[in-house]
Every structure is written in structure tokens, then in C-alpha cells.
A and B are shown apart, each in its own frame.
Chain A
Amino acid sequence: MRIWKSFLIALAVLGAGACGRSSNNTLNGAGATFPFPLYGAWAHRYNAEKGIQLNYQSIGSGGGVKQITGGTVDFGASDDALPAAEIEAQGLLQWPQVIGGIVVVYNVSGVSGQLTLDGASACGIFLGEIKNFDDAAIRVLNPGLSLPSAPITVVHRSDGSGTTAVFTHYLADVCPRWQNQVGQGKAVNWPTGIGAKGNEGVMNYVRQQANSVGYVEFAYAKQNSASYANMRNRAGKVVSPSLESFSAAAAAGSYDPAAHFYTWITNTGGAQAWPITAATNILVRRDKLEASKRVVAFFDWAFTAEGDAQARELVYAPLPDSLKERVRAYWRQHGLQ
């Protein structure tokens, strides 16, 4: 029968395909969307140089933690560092890889310049209390700007997100009402707006929806030429998102290897510090030493001048050299290098 023959051929083709396995040349990772543009760029370069494919899927930090604890990927990534106790309980290891900043992006026609916000006004917008762009709370911060009287559509994350954890941590810090009404975490019950998946999804909805406001990692705003707000930080200075302001915030972190580098660098006191900053983290399993070692080889490569240059291009701040050394010592301590 001809039909059966064609099946045999199809089987052979598949068999040949399946034999083309190359598990030593591939690494699978999943998690945070916050560093996705950078990890994608690194992976692209790394593949060109070393012939190793690092397949990073940006499904959100919650997904990264789940898939690495479930053991379905070689590494997970999360902007929301796991506390030391949880790292120990799940048999994981964690280190910071790069610093990034979260910005409030907006899509409003009729604003004559760049918006400035502070903690209270950002809190009001995302609580749904500030309903219009020409609200007094925004006008006070932007005396020179003409603001339209347009109703604000809030765009937030719908997935388990480290970006959300960092952003809500900041809002809870600067705005007691936020802590009481919404709280903080990877997923919270947003009082208003529409939900989107990943930094990608938020940026997409903000681009599409008129009069919308969202929060994304700065690279997404940059890559898509979106408007973003400057922030007034804890020192009372108005700062712009930049390598300098991210690094200034990162300087305040504790990064204790014994605590698996668990730390917060939001709303720090530095005069130049960007207030919504985070170190994004890599998670590997202790019981999969071989895979974890190859993961470390990649991220160690990313710590080199070449990796740093790519990071700066996308406005992620590389870790300071002293911190990189601490991370390397941590790798050696746990037999990963």
C-alpha cells in the first residue's frame, strides 16, 4: 500500500531528525521578560562565537521559578530574587546577572514634553484614583507642560512577573495606601486597567491603546521609541533612566552570597539613583551540576567586556567588577566553575 510506504518514509525522516540531537550544544532557559532583549542578544552572539544555542523563552519570572523548580529547563530567570530560605528549600542556586530599571511608559497625544512623576502620583495612577492626565497631582509635577483631559487606561501585567514584584515593591514603599489596598508580589489584584502578558505585552498594549500608561523595563521603551516618565527619587531629585542612575541605585544593594544575593535596590537614597531599579537573577538547580556548569559558562562569558558592551547598548547596567568577583566566588564555592 502506497499510504503505508509514505508513512515509513515519514518515520525515517523523523528518525533522522530526532537523531540530529545535539543536547551538548543547547541550553534551555525560561523566565523574566525584563532582561529578555539582552539575553536574546547575548545568546545570538554566543551562538555565533561558540556554536552553543541558548534558547531563552521570556514567559515571566513566575514561569522561570516554576520551570526551574519543576526541572523542565536548565535555568530560570527572575527579577524578583527568591529569599535564601526558599533557594535552600528548592535546592537551587541564585545570582544577579545585570541591573535594569523599570519605567512608566505612556501613550498620550497632546502632551508637549516629557512627563515627570513621583511615587505618590504613580501610585494614584495605578490605583485608579488619578483618572485623567490633567489631574492636579500630575500638573503640580509638570508645571510647564500642557496636559490633555483624557481618561487614563492602565496597562499592567497579567502573568506572574518579577517586573511587577519590583514595581509594586516600590509603590508599597512610597505609598502606604498601595500597601493596604493592593500589596506587593509577582501578581497582585490590580484595581483598574487591562492585563497583558510579559513586558512585551504591556508595551504592545500601551502602543496600541490611546491614553494608556504602563510599566516596563527601560530597554522595551527604548527599543520601541515609547514615551516614558522621569521620576522624582527619594532624595527629591528628578532623575532620568540611564546607565548612571541604574548603577547609582545598584550601589546600595547588599548582595550577600550567603543569602544567595537576595536584596532590594528600589527607592534607595542616592541623589542620582533611579528609584525603580532591580538586579535580575539567574536560577539553576544544584542536582543538575553538568547543565548548571554550562549555564554558568554562558553567564560568565556575559560578564566579559563583550557582554557588558551589549548590555550598555540596551541600557542595562553591568554589575560592578567587585560584585562579579563575588558571583564567581559563589560559583566556585558551589562547584559550578
Chain B
Amino acid sequence: MRINRGIKDLAFAALTAAGAFSIVVFVVGIVAVLVGNSAEAIRTFGPGFIVSDVWDPAHQKFGAAASLYGSFITATLALLMAVPVSLGIAIFVTEIAPGFLRGPFGSAIELLAAIPSIIYGMWGLFTLAPIMSQIIEPALQQSIGSFPIVGALFSGATRGVDLFTASVILSIMITPFVASIARDAFLLTPPEVKESAYAVGATQWEVVRDVVVPYSKFGVFGGVVIALGRALGETMAVAFVLGNKHWITLSLFEAASTITVTLANEFNEADSDLYLSSLFFLALLLFAFSFLTLAAARLLISRSRQRRGEK
């Protein structure tokens, strides 16, 4: 009886351990499959793959630079647009909004994160792209397009199918992530510290700037890095509006490609082993980037929690 119970307990323990171990299998498996399948491209192109901007299936020459460039430009631009807005949202929800508005506002912003990326993509193509090409991009061109150096960023025909539109969509998608992490980080600020700042006559903004933000900067920065990872890994939302072009272009009004879009468009049709292997190499790079950025974000967030623990 007792032994039987022991066996059952052991069996259940083993079952749960197997469930936990599946994660290890997945991570190791993903790395192994990606490395194994990209072996041919790694052998053929070596580290030069990362810096070469040639993507020429006809001549079997592949390089990641153009896709990497597209990924980092769209992600960076999206962060530049999303972070200020997200911080504003977090400040509004934690400091400004009257109590009854905080919940609904927070939830509404978080719902933005629940909308599937394919919907963002479709909306981007049919609704946002025409607005960009007819109103926003011409306006940008006319205002700052004539400046000497910055102008080059906004040159060319305004088509709405370009790096800029893709970045705007990405920025909308990552806003809720940064905002909710920033909000959580802001809420960790001990009320006593804030109150003593108010007591010496600080304005609300000064409390935010001088107390809340410094206090939560690691957490907020962690959120920003997580959002960067998401922006790098997003596929469908940008696939509709990027225009699929393998090149490095200065103008934000030109078509481009990202790692994810290259994979989505070309994976099913890569008709040579080297081609497919190069795509796996791209996937490996993307995996490495997202894994590393996330690990960095975790470190930052846990450091911010530790800070709070010390006090």
C-alpha cells in the first residue's frame, strides 16, 4: 500500500519533471536544428554572411546585411516613436488619471497587444499605407525633406509601402508592452519617497522626473529592450507594407526587407540547399538576437526588483 503510493507519487513527479524538461528540449532542439540546417551557409559564407548585403538567389550568393539593416532600422525607429508615447501613457495611468479612469485606460492600452499581428498588417496595407502615402509622407517631405542631411531620409516617391510605414505599425504594436512594464515599474516607487518630495514643494512632473523615473529606470529600460526583441521578431505586421527589397537604403521612404519578412516570403520557395540553409542562418541570427535581448531585459528587470528589495 505504502509502496504503491510511493510509486504513484514518483510517477507523478516524473511526469511533471518531464513537462518542465520539455522546455529544455525545445530550446536545445531549436538551437540544434537552426545550427544544423544553417551549417552549409556557415561553411560557404562564414562570418562574412553578416556583413554582405548581396542577396542573389540566381547566383547563389547570400548575405544577411540587407535584412539585418531592415530589421534594426524598423525596430529602432519603432522604439523612437513608441517609447515617449509609452512613458506618457504610464505617467498618465499612474500619476494623472483619476482613479476610476486608470483601470479602463490601462486595459484599453493592453488590448492593443491582444490584436493579432496579421490584423495590424492588413489594416496597415489597406488603411494606413494610403494615409501615409497621400498625407503624412508628403507633409514630412515638404517640411523637413529639404534639410541638408536629414532630408535624405525622406527622399523619393511617397508610396506608403516602405520602412517608415512598417516602423509606425511596429511602434503601435510595441507601445502596450513598454507602457505596461513602465507602469508596473512606476508603481514600485515607494509612496513615502514621493510624498516627501511633494512635501518639499515639488510639482507632479518634478516628482515623476526626479523620483519616479530614476527609481524605476532599470525596469523601464528592461521593458524597452523586451519591446526591441518583439519588434525584431514581428513578421506579419510588416510583411504587408515593407515592399520586400534586399538592399541597404538611406531613405525611409524606400521598400526594404527584414529577417522575418525574408523568411516568410522565401522559406517555402528556396529551391537550392544553399538558399534554404542561408534562410536558416538568418533564422539563427534572429533567434540569437531575440534570446540575447530578452536575457538582457530580464537582468535589468531583476536588478530593478533587487533595488526595491534593498530599501
| Chain A contact residues, CB within 8 Å of chain B | 30, 59-60, 62-67, 69, 151, 153, 158-160, 183-190, 193-197, 205, 208-210
For residue A156, give the distance in angstroms from its CB to the closest CB of chain B. 9
Q: Is B90 an interface residue (CB 8 A)?
A: no
Nearest neighbor of A31 in chain B, beta-carbon distance: B269
Across chains A and B, the number of contacting residue pairs, with CB separation under 8 Å, is 76
**Are A66 and B268 in touch, CB under 8 angstroms?**
yes
Q: When each residue 255-292 of chain B gets 1 if its CB lies under 8 Å from chain A and 0 otherwise, what string results?
A: 10100000001101111000010000000000000000
Chain B interface residue count, Cβ-Cβ cutoff 8 angstroms:
25
Do A159 and B266 have beta carbons less than 8 Å apart? yes
Known contacts A66-B270, A189-B56; A158/B265 CB under 8 A: yes
* Set of chain B residues within 8 Å of A186, measured between Cβ atoms: 57-58, 271
Contacts of A159 on B, CB cut-off 8 Å? 265-266, 269
24 A–B contacts from the bound complex (CB under 8 Å)? A59-B268, A62-B271, A63-B269, A64-B269, A66-B268, A66-B269, A159-B266, A160-B57, A160-B269, A160-B270, A160-B271, A183-B58, A185-B58, A186-B57, A187-B58, A193-B245, A194-B159, A194-B161, A195-B244, A195-B245, A195-B255, A195-B257, A209-B133, A209-B161
The reply to whether the CB of B150 lies closer than 8 angstroms to some CB of chain A is: no
Q: Known: A158-B244, A160-B57, A190-B245. Is A59-B269 also a contact (CB below 8 A)?
A: yes
The answer to whether A153 and B271 have CB atoms under 8 Å apart is: no
| B222-250 vs A, Cβ < 8 Å mask (1 yes, 0 no) | 00000000000000000000011110000
Query: Is B157 an interface residue when CB atoms closer than 8 A count as contact?
Result: yes
Whether A62 pairs with B265 at a CB distance below 8 angstroms is: no
The smallest C-beta distance from A34 to any residue of chain B, in angstroms, reads: 14
**B159 contact set on A, CB distance < 8 A:** 153, 194, 209
- Interface positions of B (Cβ within 8 A of A): 55-58, 125, 129-130, 133, 157, 159, 161-162, 243-246, 255, 257, 265-266, 268-271, 276
Q: Is the CB of A208 within 8 A of B266?
A: no
A160 to B276, CA, bound (A): 12
Quote the shortest CB–CB distance from A313 to chain B (angstroms): 29
CB proximity of B123 to chain A, nearest CB, Å? 14
Contacts of B133 in A (CB 8 A): 209-210
Name the A residues within 8 Å of B243 (CB-CB).
194-196
Beyond A193-B255, A195-B244, whether A67 also contacts B58 by CB under 8 A is no
Please indicate the chain A residues that have their CB under 8 angstroms from the CB of B130 in the complex: 208
- Bound-state Cα–Cα, A183 to B57, Å: 12
Whether A196 touches B244, Cβ cut-off 8 Å, given contacts A153-B159, A187-B57, A208-B129, is yes
Residues of chain B contacted by A210 (CB below 8 angstroms) = 133
Q: Is the CB of A67 within 8 A of B265?
A: no
Bound CA–CA A149/B58 (angstroms): 35
Q: Are A197 and B268 in contact (CB under 8 A)?
A: no
Closest approach, in angstroms, between the C-beta of A208 and any C-beta of chain B? 7
Q: How far is the CB of B176 from chain A (nearest CB, A)?
A: 29
Q: Is the CB of A66 within 8 A of B271?
A: yes
